[in-house]
């Protein structure tokens, strides 16, 4: 049966009249418009294993802009010319997928020589979603999560959650979940603090079968937070489910005044969620359609409306507001759930707003004052007027007016006769079992300045924090009398401290850097380092010369691995825990050339997503490496490698590359690193196609041994002759790791 789907695309333009109390030019105010973007795409709905991911780019100035788009986990790098008169679509690689919890290869980077407005869209069958990425200059380090409960069926549990993506600075994360969340073998509840360190351009994904709305994310550096649900019914129990996702604005950009307009052609109305980051938050409605509510920190309230109503309300503290379309069977029998962030009136765009209509988009304009009506609205410099057949007033009262209109395909400029009018544009559309919505553009000014809360430092004067791959120590300078960079060092003096607050300094060391020492005892691994105080700060009041600190772990994942690093392509790692080997992480990495160095630790934080990571690609080269990160001395042996047409390593349709540690012919070469036996390079001249497939996936079966076992079991050699039982005794379990897809030329 063939179903013909007709999709109507609409735009909502919200216009508010307010007094601008400063003379700041619009271009100087942080907003969703920018020239540098880094974000992660959350796990999406899998429809017969295929989904289409794409970005839409619009030039803000109306002039042609050159943009570079790159993604993690592949050699995808596109340089495009964005025309000034229309929107440009760029399809992202199918390999940009992420399922489950952990470090993921789901990062997109966009860099341009001019300002852009960017939107992301995903389609999987009839399911779809869209969101507006925020430029790196508008990111923050405090977020509250807004999402919806994922669908649970008899045989299927969908997931919902969020991705946190670092820029080139990396970030230390502290997360409080609103529900119990499992990470590795550990459960974290609402009163626990989950700590994690992200390297440059790394992305951490947290997924759960619960509603994680109200979870709080804080970091020491700006990060991007995108929430997503693989499939949610809105409201709960109303068919059908759809993919939801949206990038969260930082807490410091949240406001207190809001207007919410109904969706055009959605007579079943909508669902509204209000999430409070702070205690003692009162929501006060000026509309009779909703009752006032009181919320405390990280709580949320859901409103399910059954009438086509326009709302205006204010809050006593900043809040996050999310609007949802209802499901297909809510009464409209078109469309499906979608989620959109509703920015506050304080963040509406001032002045003329440029946008691109793709296909006769509908536009809804809301005006907050009856003195500024439809007669003042201008489209492409022309007054619209009340008698225009393409525009009509939906609601008009003392609080606001709601107007609907239509824009022909192409680029448009919307403005108003009042130069101080503020606009908010929200794009949305519906189709058969499909719906999507996203804010087109809004300001991201700092509206909230948090009160400076002094860090709690114990009476000892120091506090140690343990993360997945690093640890830090925070010092009270009044106790230790340290003030300058030369007053205190770690084992490695080149690892400098960072002042994070007046009177407080922090020193951070990765587990494999700054001369950190590793000691094993039973099933636990201890990482330790030492503060060394300079002679001139050692006094009778502060007599310490040395201060040792440590972190201990017995859970999987303590030694994280960077999924996005310089000059290479790397899949998600296999992270596990072994009673003898300790915590380890294995991955099969594809490099863009053979200049990858000898150790995986060479490509650490600070790499340029748009530079060495993707440059220097040579046609025909296929350079890989088995990469082991371990908390103890270990070695790796590559037993076999093969390719399959799909990601399933058990696929019967295979082509062998390595067997029993032996290259099958002289087109394969297994290298070695004298500096690091945990790094095993593999070169493949060319891949053979399998059937009619134009891409393959590569898999390797590897063995990991303790350093002292390596001489007996784990050296890399060709093992054509079968080994006897005495030789095999004590050999560790084999692990299978994969990468792909790899294009076959």
* Residue 367 confidence (pLDDT) above 80: no
Q: Average pLDDT of 111-130?
A: 84
pLDDT mean across residues, the chain:
75
Contacts of 164 (CB under 8 A, 6+ apart): 40, 171, 173, 175, 198, 203, 204, 206, 217, 219, 223, 224, 225
Q: In sequence order, what E strands does 452-491 have?
A: 462-466, 470-476, 488-489
Structure tokens at 434: 């499909």
Q: Average pLDDT of 504-510?
A: 84
- The pLDDT tens digits of the residues spanning 574-603 come to 555 454 455 556 777 776 544 443 323 333
- The pLDDT tens digits of the residues spanning 416-428 come to 787 777 777 777 6
Cα(694)–Cα(582) distance, rounded to whole angstroms? 39
The pLDDT, as a whole number, for residue 102 is 87
* Residue 452 confidence (pLDDT) above 60: no
Q: Average pLDDT of 443-469?
A: 70
* Residue 25 confidence (pLDDT) above 60: no
* Residue 463 confidence (pLDDT) above 50: yes
DSSP state of 254: -
- 98-107, 227-236, 401-410, 574-583: which has the minimum mean pLDDT? 574-583
Contacts of 601 (CB under 8 A, 6+ apart): 512, 513
Helices then strands (H, E): number in the chain? 2, 54
**Which residues sit opposite 208 in a β-bridge?**
160
Q: Average pLDDT of 531-553?
A: 73
**Which residues sit opposite 218 in a β-bridge?**
142, 174
- The pLDDT tens digits of the residues spanning 287-324 come to 788 899 999 999 999 999 888 788 889 999 999 999 99
- The pLDDT tens digits of the residues spanning 617-669 come to 344 557 777 767 655 566 778 888 988 877 777 777 788 898 888 888 878 88
The pLDDT, as a whole number, for residue 6 is 33
Q: Average pLDDT of 560-569?
A: 28
Of the segments 235-239, 300-304, 439-443, which one has the largest average pLDDT value?
300-304
Single out the residue of 230, 239, 238, 225 nearest to residue 207, CA to CA.
230
Q: Average pLDDT of 192-202?
A: 88
* Residue 572 confidence (pLDDT) above 60: no
Backbone angles phi, psi at 123, to 5 degrees: -130, 135
- The pLDDT tens digits of the residues spanning 678-734 come to 667 788 877 777 666 677 888 888 887 765 554 445 565 676 554 443 343 344 567
Question: End-to-end distance of the chain based on CA atoms, in angstroms?
Answer: 36
Residues 147 and 228 sit within 8 Å (Cβ to Cβ) = yes
Model confidence at 10, pLDDT cuts 50, 70, 90, reads very low
The pLDDT, as a whole number, for residue 65 is 95
More confident residue, 237 or 369: 237
The pLDDT, as a whole number, for residue 672 is 62
The pLDDT, as a whole number, for residue 14 is 41
């Amino acid at each position: 049966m063939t179903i013909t789907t007709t999709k109507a695309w609409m735009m909502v333009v919200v216009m508010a009249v307010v007094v601008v109390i400063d003379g700041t030019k619009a271009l100087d105010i942080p907003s969703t418009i920018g020239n540098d973007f880094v974000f992660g795409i959350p796990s999406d709905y899998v429809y017969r294993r295929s989904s289409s991911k794409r970005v839409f780019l619009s030039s803000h100035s109306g002039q042609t802009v050159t943009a570079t788009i790159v993604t993690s986990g592949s050699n995808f790098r596109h340089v495009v010319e964005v025309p000034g008169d229309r929107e440009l679509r760029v399809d992202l690689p199918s390999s940009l997928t992420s399922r489950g919890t952990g470090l993921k290869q789901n990062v997109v980077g966009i860099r341009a020589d001019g300002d852009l407005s960017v939107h992301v869209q995903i389609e999987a069958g009839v399911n779809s979603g869209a969101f507006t990425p925020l430029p790196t200059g508008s990111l923050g380090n405090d977020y509250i999560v807004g999402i919806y409960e994922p669908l649970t069926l008899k045989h299927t549990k969908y997931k919902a959650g969020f991705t946190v993506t670092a820029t080139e600075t990396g970030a230390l994360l502290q997360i409080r979940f609103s529900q119990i969340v499992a990470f590795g073998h550990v459960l974290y509840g609402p009163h626990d603090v989950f700590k994690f360190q992200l390297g440059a351009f790394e992305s951490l994904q947290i997924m759960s079968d619960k509603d994680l709305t109200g979870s709080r994310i804080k970091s020491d550096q700006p990060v991007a937070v995108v929430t997503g649900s693989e499939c949610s019914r809105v409201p709960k129990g109303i068919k059908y489910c759809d993919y939801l996702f949206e990038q969260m604005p930082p807490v410091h950009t949240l406001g207190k005044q809001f207007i919410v307009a109904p969706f055009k052609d959605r007579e079943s109305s909508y669902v509204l969620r209000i999430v409070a980051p702070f205690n003692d938050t009162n929501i006060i409605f000026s509309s009779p359609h909703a009752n006032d509510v009181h919320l405390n920190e990280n709580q949320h309230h859901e409103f399910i409306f059954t009438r086509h109503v326009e709302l205006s309300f204010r809050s006593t503290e900043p809040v996050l507001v999310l609007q949802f379309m209802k499901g297909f069977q809510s009464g409209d029998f078109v469309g499906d759930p979608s989620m959109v962030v509703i920015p506050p009136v304080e963040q509406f765009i001032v002045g003329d707003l440029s946008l691109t209509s793709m296909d006769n988009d509908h536009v809804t304009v809301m005006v907050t004052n009856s003195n500024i009506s439809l007669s003042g609205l201008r489209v492409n410099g022309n007054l619209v007027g009340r008698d225009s057949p393409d525009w009509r007033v939906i609601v008009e009262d003392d609080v606001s007016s709601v107007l609907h209109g239509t824009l022909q395909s192409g680029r448009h400029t919307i403005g108003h006769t009042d130069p101080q009018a503020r606009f908010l544009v929200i794009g949305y559309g519906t189709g058969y079992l499909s719906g999507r919505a996203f804010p087109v553009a809004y300001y991201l000014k700092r509206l909230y300045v948090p009160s400076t809360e002094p860090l709690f430092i114990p009476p000892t004067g120091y506090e140690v924090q343990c993360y997945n791959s690093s640890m830090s120590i925070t010092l009270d300078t009044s106790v230790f009398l340290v003030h300058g960079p030369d007053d205190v060092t770690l084992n490695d003096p080149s690892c400098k401290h960072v002042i994070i607050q007046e009177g407080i300094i922090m020193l951070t060391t990765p587990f494999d850097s700054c001369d950190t020492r590793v000691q094993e005892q039973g099933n636990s691994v201890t990482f330790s380092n030492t503060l060394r105080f300079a002679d001139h700060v050692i006094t009778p009041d502060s007599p310490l010369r040395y201060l040792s600190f440590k972190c201990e772990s017995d859970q999987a994942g303590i030694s994280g691995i960077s999924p996005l690093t310089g000059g290479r392509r790397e899949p998600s790692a296999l992270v596990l825990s072994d009673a003898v080997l300790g915590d380890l992480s294995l991955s099969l990495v594809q490099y863009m050339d053979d200049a990858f160095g000898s150790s995986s630790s060479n490509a650490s934080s600070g790499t340029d997503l748009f530079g060495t990571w993707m440059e220097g690609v040579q046609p025909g080269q296929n350079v890989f490496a088995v990469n082991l990160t371990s908390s103890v001395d270990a070695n790796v042996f590559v037993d076999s490698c093969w390719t399959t047409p799909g990601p399933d390593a058990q696929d019967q349709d295979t082509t062998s590359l390595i067997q029993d540690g032996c290259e099958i012919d002289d087109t394969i070469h297994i290298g070695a690193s004298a500096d690091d036996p945990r790094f095993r390079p593999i070169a493949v001249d060319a891949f053979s196609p399998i059937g009619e497939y134009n891409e393959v996936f590569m898999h390797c079966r590897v063995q990991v041994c303790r350093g002292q076992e390596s001489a007996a079991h784990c050296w890399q050699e060709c093992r054509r002759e079968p080994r006897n039982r005495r030789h095999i005794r004590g050999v560790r379990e084999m692990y299978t790791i994969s990468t792909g897809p790899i294009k076959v030329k």
